[in-house]
Structure 1
Amino acid sequence: MKEDLAMQVKSALWKKKISQKKLAELVGISSAYLSDIIRGRKDGPKAQEHIKHIRKILDI
């Protein structure tokens, strides 16, 4: 799942021409925290809520 999310996010960012930093701003979290979520280092309940928000923003 971790690799799948990372690939989906990277692909969507590229297609939408959005930087990871901009995505973090849109979600309301730091770039470092976003990176940890995408890489699967953070996967608690709060991170899962952020993942839902990320998926909504990127349409994935």
Structure 2
Amino acid sequence: MEGNLGMQVKSALWKKDMSQKELAELVGISSAYLSDIIRGRKDGPKAQEHIKHIRKILSI
């Protein structure tokens, strides 16, 4: 999932002309934490909630 999520997020950010920092601000988390989620380093229950929010924002 980590590679898949990372590719999906990067592609969606590019299509929306949005930075990772902007996405992190919309989700309400730090850029570093967002990066950890995207790379699969964080995958607990809280991270899963953030992933749902990220997917909703980016429509993925």
TM-score, normalization by structure 2: 1.00
- 1:39 corresponds to: 39
Structure 1: tracts of 5 or more residues without a match: none
CA-atom RMSD, angstroms? 0.2
Q: Percent identity, aligned pairs only?
A: 87
Which aligned segments of 4 or more residues in structure 1 are displaced greater than 3 angstroms? none
Residues 3-52 of structure 1 deviation map (CA, whole Å, 9 limit, x = unaligned): 00000000000000000000000000000000000000000000000000
Task: Report the Cα distance in structure 2 between the residues aligned to 1:24 and 1:18, rounded to whole angstroms.
Answer: 10
Residue equivalent to 1:50: 50
For this pair of structures, how many residues does the alignment match? 60
- Structure 2 unaligned spans of 5+: none
Scaled by the length of structure 1, what TM-score is found?
1.00
